[in-house]
A = this chain, B = another copy of it.
Amino acid sequence: MAKELWKGNEAIAEAALRAGVEAYFGYPITPQTELLEYMAREMPKYPGRVFLQAESELAAVNMVYGAACGGVRTMSSSSSPGISLMSEGLSYIAGTELPAVLVDIMRGGPGLGNIQPSQSDYFQMTKSLGHGDYHALVLAPSTVQEAVDLTYESFELAEKYRTVVVILADGAIGQMMEPVELPPWRETLTEAQRPDWALRGAKGRPHRTLTSLNLTPEGLEQTNLRLQARLATVQRNEVRWEEEMTEDAELLLVAFGTMGRICKTALRAARRKGQKVGLLRPISLWPFPEQRLYELAGKTQHILVVEMNAGQMLLDVQAAVQGRAPIDFYGRMGGMIPLPDEINEQIDRLMAPPISQPELNQSGNGYHRHAAAAAVASRA
Protein backbone atom coordinates (compact mmCIF):
# COMPACT_ATOMS: atom_id res chain seq x y z
CA MET A 1 0.00 0.00 0.00
CA ALA A 2 1.32 3.41 -0.94
CA LYS A 3 2.22 5.89 1.72
CA GLU A 4 0.02 8.87 2.32
CA LEU A 5 0.72 12.06 4.19
CA TRP A 6 -1.36 12.10 7.38
CA LYS A 7 -1.74 14.45 10.26
CA GLY A 8 -1.06 12.61 13.52
CA ASN A 9 -4.46 13.16 15.11
CA GLU A 10 -6.32 12.06 12.01
CA ALA A 11 -4.03 9.11 11.39
CA ILE A 12 -4.67 7.83 14.89
CA ALA A 13 -8.41 8.14 14.33
CA GLU A 14 -8.17 6.30 11.02
CA ALA A 15 -6.04 3.57 12.60
CA ALA A 16 -8.67 3.10 15.30
CA LEU A 17 -11.38 2.83 12.68
CA ARG A 18 -9.36 0.20 10.86
CA ALA A 19 -8.78 -1.65 14.11
CA GLY A 20 -12.54 -1.95 14.38
CA VAL A 21 -13.39 0.63 17.01
CA GLU A 22 -17.15 0.62 17.38
CA ALA A 23 -17.79 3.47 19.77
CA TYR A 24 -15.96 6.75 20.22
CA PHE A 25 -16.86 9.28 22.91
CA GLY A 26 -14.97 12.51 23.39
CA TYR A 27 -14.96 16.20 24.06
CA PRO A 28 -13.09 18.89 22.10
CA ILE A 29 -9.75 20.05 23.42
CA THR A 30 -6.70 21.40 21.65
CA PRO A 31 -4.35 19.93 20.44
CA GLN A 32 -6.42 16.76 20.11
CA THR A 33 -9.59 18.08 18.51
CA GLU A 34 -8.90 16.92 14.95
CA LEU A 35 -9.13 13.36 16.22
CA LEU A 36 -12.67 13.94 17.48
CA GLU A 37 -13.59 15.86 14.33
CA TYR A 38 -12.30 13.05 12.14
CA MET A 39 -14.43 10.59 14.06
CA ALA A 40 -17.43 12.92 13.65
CA ARG A 41 -16.93 12.81 9.89
CA GLU A 42 -16.05 9.15 9.45
CA MET A 43 -17.93 7.13 12.06
CA PRO A 44 -21.38 7.82 10.56
CA LYS A 45 -20.17 6.16 7.35
CA TYR A 46 -20.01 2.77 9.07
CA PRO A 47 -23.33 1.31 10.14
CA GLY A 48 -23.47 0.18 13.74
CA ARG A 49 -20.60 2.34 14.85
CA VAL A 50 -21.09 5.20 17.25
CA PHE A 51 -19.66 8.69 17.43
CA LEU A 52 -20.90 10.87 20.24
CA GLN A 53 -19.63 14.18 21.48
CA ALA A 54 -20.08 14.03 25.23
CA GLU A 55 -20.96 16.96 27.45
CA SER A 56 -17.57 16.66 29.18
CA GLU A 57 -14.58 14.39 29.54
CA LEU A 58 -16.15 13.07 32.72
CA ALA A 59 -19.16 11.92 30.74
CA ALA A 60 -16.99 10.70 27.85
CA VAL A 61 -14.95 8.34 30.00
CA ASN A 62 -18.09 6.95 31.58
CA MET A 63 -19.67 6.44 28.17
CA VAL A 64 -16.55 4.48 27.29
CA TYR A 65 -17.00 2.58 30.56
CA GLY A 66 -20.58 1.74 29.60
CA ALA A 67 -19.74 0.67 26.07
CA ALA A 68 -16.81 -1.39 27.38
CA CYS A 69 -19.20 -3.24 29.70
CA GLY A 70 -20.91 -4.48 26.57
CA GLY A 71 -17.69 -5.97 25.19
CA VAL A 72 -17.62 -3.29 22.51
CA ARG A 73 -14.36 -1.86 21.10
CA THR A 74 -14.37 1.62 22.45
CA MET A 75 -12.10 4.59 22.96
CA SER A 76 -11.79 8.22 23.89
CA SER A 77 -9.19 10.90 23.36
CA SER A 78 -8.31 14.11 25.09
CA SER A 79 -5.46 16.28 26.25
CA SER A 80 -4.00 16.92 29.69
CA PRO A 81 -6.75 18.78 31.62
CA GLY A 82 -9.39 16.59 30.06
CA ILE A 83 -7.46 13.49 31.10
CA SER A 84 -7.41 14.70 34.70
CA LEU A 85 -11.19 14.75 34.62
CA MET A 86 -11.20 11.15 33.49
CA SER A 87 -9.19 9.76 36.37
CA GLU A 88 -12.08 8.55 38.49
CA GLY A 89 -13.69 6.81 35.52
CA LEU A 90 -10.43 5.22 34.41
CA SER A 91 -9.89 3.84 37.89
CA TYR A 92 -13.37 2.31 37.73
CA ILE A 93 -12.64 0.79 34.34
CA ALA A 94 -9.46 -0.72 35.75
CA GLY A 95 -11.23 -1.96 38.87
CA THR A 96 -13.87 -3.59 36.68
CA GLU A 97 -11.16 -5.19 34.54
CA LEU A 98 -12.40 -3.85 31.24
CA PRO A 99 -10.56 -3.08 28.01
CA ALA A 100 -10.53 0.46 26.68
CA VAL A 101 -8.24 2.69 24.64
CA LEU A 102 -7.42 6.27 25.50
CA VAL A 103 -5.38 8.75 23.49
CA ASP A 104 -3.69 11.63 25.33
CA ILE A 105 -2.22 14.36 23.14
CA MET A 106 -0.34 16.21 25.86
CA ARG A 107 -0.08 19.98 26.19
CA GLY A 108 1.68 22.40 28.52
CA GLY A 109 0.60 22.46 32.16
CA PRO A 110 -0.15 22.60 34.99
CA GLY A 111 -3.68 23.98 35.03
CA LEU A 112 -4.92 25.47 31.81
CA GLY A 113 -1.29 25.99 30.80
CA ASN A 114 -1.21 26.28 27.05
CA ILE A 115 -1.72 24.24 23.89
CA GLN A 116 1.93 23.62 23.05
CA PRO A 117 3.44 20.12 22.96
CA SER A 118 4.62 18.78 26.28
CA GLN A 119 5.33 15.50 28.03
CA SER A 120 4.16 16.53 31.44
CA ASP A 121 1.49 13.84 31.79
CA TYR A 122 4.09 11.08 32.09
CA PHE A 123 3.50 10.65 35.81
CA GLN A 124 -0.26 10.87 35.49
CA MET A 125 -0.27 8.25 32.78
CA THR A 126 2.29 5.78 34.05
CA LYS A 127 1.79 6.07 37.79
CA SER A 128 -1.73 6.98 38.73
CA LEU A 129 -4.49 7.35 36.26
CA GLY A 130 -6.70 7.90 39.29
CA HIS A 131 -6.78 6.29 42.70
CA GLY A 132 -5.98 2.70 43.56
CA ASP A 133 -3.38 0.17 42.55
CA TYR A 134 -3.29 -0.20 38.84
CA HIS A 135 -1.41 0.80 35.76
CA ALA A 136 -2.54 1.33 32.24
CA LEU A 137 -0.40 0.00 29.45
CA VAL A 138 1.14 3.22 28.13
CA LEU A 139 2.58 3.38 24.63
CA ALA A 140 4.48 6.42 23.38
CA PRO A 141 4.90 6.78 19.62
CA SER A 142 7.58 9.02 18.16
CA THR A 143 6.32 9.16 14.59
CA VAL A 144 2.92 9.29 12.99
CA GLN A 145 3.50 5.82 11.56
CA GLU A 146 4.26 4.48 15.00
CA ALA A 147 1.17 6.23 16.36
CA VAL A 148 -0.87 4.43 13.74
CA ASP A 149 0.70 1.05 14.43
CA LEU A 150 0.43 1.32 18.19
CA THR A 151 -3.16 2.54 18.04
CA TYR A 152 -4.05 -0.32 15.76
CA GLU A 153 -2.52 -2.80 18.15
CA SER A 154 -3.82 -1.13 21.28
CA PHE A 155 -7.29 -2.62 20.99
CA GLU A 156 -5.97 -6.16 20.91
CA LEU A 157 -3.73 -5.44 23.88
CA ALA A 158 -6.60 -3.91 25.79
CA GLU A 159 -8.74 -6.95 25.17
CA LYS A 160 -6.03 -9.47 25.85
CA TYR A 161 -5.19 -8.02 29.25
CA ARG A 162 -8.57 -6.48 30.04
CA THR A 163 -6.86 -3.19 30.68
CA VAL A 164 -6.79 0.42 29.67
CA VAL A 165 -4.22 1.10 26.95
CA VAL A 166 -3.03 4.66 26.61
CA ILE A 167 -1.52 6.12 23.48
CA LEU A 168 0.58 8.91 24.94
CA ALA A 169 1.74 11.50 22.46
CA ASP A 170 2.30 15.20 22.54
CA GLY A 171 0.83 18.03 20.52
CA ALA A 172 3.70 17.81 18.04
CA ILE A 173 2.77 14.27 17.04
CA GLY A 174 -0.90 15.17 17.02
CA GLN A 175 -0.32 18.11 14.70
CA MET A 176 2.48 16.98 12.42
CA MET A 177 2.13 15.31 9.04
CA GLU A 178 4.23 12.34 7.96
CA PRO A 179 3.98 9.63 5.38
CA VAL A 180 2.02 6.71 6.69
CA GLU A 181 1.22 3.21 5.57
CA LEU A 182 -2.20 2.35 6.91
CA PRO A 183 -3.03 -1.07 8.33
CA PRO A 184 -5.72 -3.27 6.80
CA TRP A 185 -9.37 -3.05 7.80
CA ARG A 186 -10.40 -5.34 10.58
CA GLU A 187 -13.94 -6.61 11.03
CA THR A 188 -15.83 -5.60 14.11
CA LEU A 189 -16.79 -8.41 16.47
CA THR A 190 -19.78 -10.62 15.81
CA GLU A 191 -22.16 -11.38 18.63
CA ALA A 192 -20.56 -14.80 19.05
CA GLN A 193 -17.11 -13.27 19.37
CA ARG A 194 -18.06 -10.99 22.23
CA PRO A 195 -16.14 -11.75 25.42
CA ASP A 196 -17.82 -14.03 27.93
CA TRP A 197 -18.04 -11.32 30.56
CA ALA A 198 -19.83 -8.80 28.37
CA LEU A 199 -23.24 -7.43 29.31
CA ARG A 200 -25.42 -8.20 26.31
CA GLY A 201 -28.68 -9.16 28.04
CA ALA A 202 -29.15 -12.30 30.13
CA LYS A 203 -30.66 -14.37 27.36
CA GLY A 204 -30.42 -18.08 28.07
CA ARG A 205 -27.79 -17.61 30.75
CA PRO A 206 -27.60 -16.32 34.32
CA HIS A 207 -27.37 -12.56 34.65
CA ARG A 208 -23.93 -11.03 34.76
CA THR A 209 -22.53 -8.25 36.85
CA LEU A 210 -19.63 -5.90 36.25
CA THR A 211 -18.47 -3.87 39.19
CA SER A 212 -15.38 -2.48 40.88
CA LEU A 213 -17.01 -2.73 44.30
CA ASN A 214 -16.16 -5.35 46.86
CA LEU A 215 -16.96 -4.44 50.41
CA THR A 216 -14.92 -7.19 52.03
CA PRO A 217 -11.21 -6.52 52.21
CA GLU A 218 -10.58 -10.19 51.48
CA GLY A 219 -12.66 -9.96 48.32
CA LEU A 220 -11.14 -6.72 47.14
CA GLU A 221 -7.70 -8.10 47.82
CA GLN A 222 -8.47 -10.96 45.47
CA THR A 223 -9.51 -8.49 42.77
CA ASN A 224 -6.28 -6.64 43.30
CA LEU A 225 -4.16 -9.77 43.20
CA ARG A 226 -5.83 -10.75 39.94
CA LEU A 227 -5.12 -7.29 38.59
CA GLN A 228 -1.51 -7.36 39.75
CA ALA A 229 -0.97 -10.82 38.29
CA ARG A 230 -2.24 -9.58 34.96
CA LEU A 231 -0.03 -6.52 35.15
CA ALA A 232 2.93 -8.78 35.91
CA THR A 233 2.17 -10.66 32.70
CA VAL A 234 2.10 -7.39 30.85
CA GLN A 235 5.47 -6.55 32.35
CA ARG A 236 6.83 -9.85 31.09
CA ASN A 237 5.33 -9.69 27.61
CA GLU A 238 4.88 -6.14 26.52
CA VAL A 239 8.04 -4.19 27.23
CA ARG A 240 9.03 -2.30 24.09
CA TRP A 241 11.85 0.01 23.29
CA GLU A 242 14.10 1.14 20.48
CA GLU A 243 17.87 1.39 20.67
CA GLU A 244 20.31 3.26 18.53
CA MET A 245 24.09 2.83 18.71
CA THR A 246 24.07 1.58 22.27
CA GLU A 247 26.80 -1.04 21.75
CA ASP A 248 29.73 1.25 22.38
CA ALA A 249 27.91 4.20 23.90
CA GLU A 250 29.79 6.11 26.55
CA LEU A 251 26.84 8.39 27.03
CA LEU A 252 23.35 6.98 26.85
CA LEU A 253 20.47 9.24 25.98
CA VAL A 254 17.08 8.15 27.32
CA ALA A 255 14.06 9.88 25.83
CA PHE A 256 10.58 8.94 24.66
CA GLY A 257 8.08 10.07 22.05
CA THR A 258 8.88 13.27 20.18
CA MET A 259 11.84 13.80 22.46
CA GLY A 260 13.16 10.38 21.48
CA ARG A 261 13.24 11.23 17.81
CA ILE A 262 14.73 14.66 18.39
CA CYS A 263 17.49 12.97 20.36
CA LYS A 264 18.30 10.93 17.28
CA THR A 265 19.30 14.07 15.44
CA ALA A 266 21.50 15.09 18.36
CA LEU A 267 22.94 11.60 18.50
CA ARG A 268 23.93 11.68 14.84
CA ALA A 269 25.53 15.08 15.26
CA ALA A 270 27.47 13.80 18.26
CA ARG A 271 28.62 10.70 16.42
CA ARG A 272 29.80 12.88 13.57
CA LYS A 273 31.95 14.65 16.12
CA GLY A 274 33.27 11.29 17.27
CA GLN A 275 31.34 11.23 20.53
CA LYS A 276 30.16 7.76 21.47
CA VAL A 277 26.56 8.46 22.18
CA GLY A 278 23.68 5.98 22.17
CA LEU A 279 19.95 6.19 22.65
CA LEU A 280 17.37 4.15 24.47
CA ARG A 281 13.86 5.16 23.50
CA PRO A 282 11.23 3.51 25.69
CA ILE A 283 8.12 2.82 23.64
CA SER A 284 6.14 1.18 26.40
CA LEU A 285 6.36 3.67 29.24
CA TRP A 286 4.49 1.24 31.41
CA PRO A 287 5.82 -1.38 31.52
CA PHE A 288 9.08 0.52 31.51
CA PRO A 289 12.11 -1.21 29.91
CA GLU A 290 13.88 -1.28 33.26
CA GLN A 291 15.73 -4.53 32.68
CA ARG A 292 17.27 -3.35 29.43
CA LEU A 293 18.14 -0.01 30.92
CA TYR A 294 19.77 -1.75 33.88
CA GLU A 295 21.93 -3.71 31.48
CA LEU A 296 22.88 -0.70 29.40
CA ALA A 297 23.63 1.31 32.52
CA GLY A 298 26.30 -1.23 33.34
CA LYS A 299 28.01 -0.60 30.02
CA THR A 300 27.91 3.16 29.74
CA GLN A 301 29.71 6.01 31.49
CA HIS A 302 26.86 8.40 31.83
CA ILE A 303 23.14 8.66 31.25
CA LEU A 304 21.32 11.75 30.04
CA VAL A 305 17.54 11.78 30.29
CA VAL A 306 15.85 14.34 28.08
CA GLU A 307 12.18 15.17 28.46
CA MET A 308 9.69 17.89 27.61
CA ASN A 309 8.96 18.22 31.32
CA ALA A 310 10.70 18.72 34.65
CA GLY A 311 11.98 15.16 34.85
CA GLN A 312 9.29 12.55 35.25
CA MET A 313 10.53 9.47 33.38
CA LEU A 314 13.74 10.35 35.18
CA LEU A 315 12.39 8.66 38.30
CA ASP A 316 11.86 5.38 36.46
CA VAL A 317 15.34 5.70 35.02
CA GLN A 318 16.80 6.25 38.48
CA ALA A 319 14.93 3.27 39.87
CA ALA A 320 16.08 1.04 37.00
CA VAL A 321 19.70 2.16 36.86
CA GLN A 322 20.30 1.45 40.53
CA GLY A 323 23.34 3.58 40.76
CA ARG A 324 25.24 1.82 38.00
CA ALA A 325 25.85 5.09 36.18
CA PRO A 326 25.47 8.77 36.96
CA ILE A 327 22.30 10.27 35.55
CA ASP A 328 21.78 13.78 34.28
CA PHE A 329 18.59 15.36 33.20
CA TYR A 330 17.80 18.01 30.65
CA GLY A 331 14.29 19.21 30.07
CA ARG A 332 12.16 22.12 29.07
CA MET A 333 8.64 22.88 30.15
CA GLY A 334 5.51 24.74 29.28
CA GLY A 335 5.56 23.80 25.61
CA MET A 336 9.24 24.52 25.04
CA ILE A 337 11.00 21.70 23.22
CA PRO A 338 14.68 20.88 23.65
CA LEU A 339 16.11 21.11 20.14
CA PRO A 340 19.10 19.11 18.91
CA ASP A 341 21.62 21.90 19.46
CA GLU A 342 20.65 22.22 23.12
CA ILE A 343 20.96 18.48 23.59
CA ASN A 344 24.36 18.46 21.92
CA GLU A 345 25.43 21.21 24.28
CA GLN A 346 24.49 18.97 27.19
CA ILE A 347 26.30 16.06 25.61
CA ASP A 348 29.42 18.18 25.16
CA ARG A 349 29.19 19.31 28.74
CA LEU A 350 28.85 15.80 30.09
CA MET A 351 31.51 14.28 27.88
CA ALA A 352 34.09 16.80 29.08
CA PRO A 353 35.04 15.44 32.50
CA PRO A 354 35.21 16.09 35.36
CA ILE A 355 31.53 16.61 35.97
CA SER A 356 30.48 18.78 38.83
CA GLN A 357 27.03 20.16 38.71
CA PRO A 358 24.70 21.80 41.22
CA GLU A 359 21.42 20.05 41.77
CA LEU A 360 19.17 22.60 40.13
CA ASN A 361 20.98 24.57 37.55
CA GLN A 362 19.05 26.86 35.34
CA SER A 363 21.61 28.20 32.93
CA GLY A 364 20.59 29.47 29.54
CA ASN A 365 17.19 28.23 28.44
CA GLY A 366 16.79 24.76 29.74
CA TYR A 367 16.15 23.12 33.02
CA HIS A 368 18.81 20.63 33.94
CA ARG A 369 19.71 18.82 37.04
CA HIS A 370 22.08 16.17 38.08
CA ALA A 371 19.81 13.55 39.35
CA ALA A 372 21.41 10.55 40.92
CA ALA A 373 24.30 8.56 42.28
CA ALA A 374 27.04 10.76 43.69
CA ALA A 375 24.87 13.83 43.55
CA VAL A 376 22.23 12.51 45.90
CA ALA A 377 24.88 11.74 48.44
CA SER A 378 26.26 15.22 48.21
CA ARG A 379 22.98 17.01 48.78
CA ALA A 380 22.46 18.93 52.01
Contacts and interface: CB of A to CB of B under 8 A. Distances in A.
Interface string A331-366: 011111000000000000000000000011010000
8 contacts: A58-B85, A84-B87, A85-B87, A111-B212, A128-B128, A214-B334, A221-B336, A291-B380
Interface string A304-338: 00000110100110111111100000001111100
Contacts of A333: 133, 220-221, 224-225, 228
A112 B130 contact: no
B114 A380 contact: no
A114 B87 CA distance: 17
Nearest to A310: B133
Given A80-B132, A318-B322, A111 B95 contact: yes
Nearest to A215: B114
Interface stretch (A37-45, A119-127, A185-193, A256-264): A119-127
Interface residues of A, number: 86
B376 A113 contact: no
A315 B319 contact: yes
Interface of A: 58, 80-81, 83-85, 87-88, 91-96, 106, 108-116, 120-121, 123-124, 127-128, 130-134, 211-225, 227-229, 232, 236, 290-291, 294-295, 309-310, 312, 315-316, 318-324, 332-336, 359-360, 362, 367, 372-373, 376-377, 379-380
A58 B336 CA distance: 30
A133 B310 CA distance: 6
Contact of A221 (B132, B224, B332): B332
A228 B124 CA distance: 17
Contacts of A110: 91-92, 94-95, 130-134, 212, 227
A329 to B, nearest CB: 12
Contacts of A84: 87-88, 91, 130-131
Nearest to A124: B128
B108 A120 contact: no
Contact of A295 (B116, B225, B362, B377): B377
A166 to B, nearest CB: 13
Contacts of A213: 111-114
A127 B219 CA distance: 28
A91 B89 CA distance: 18
A65 B164 CA distance: 31
Contact of A373 (B222, B322, B332): B322
Contacts of A214: 113-114, 334
A359 B58 CA distance: 37
Contacts of A229: 360, 362
A96 B114 contact: no
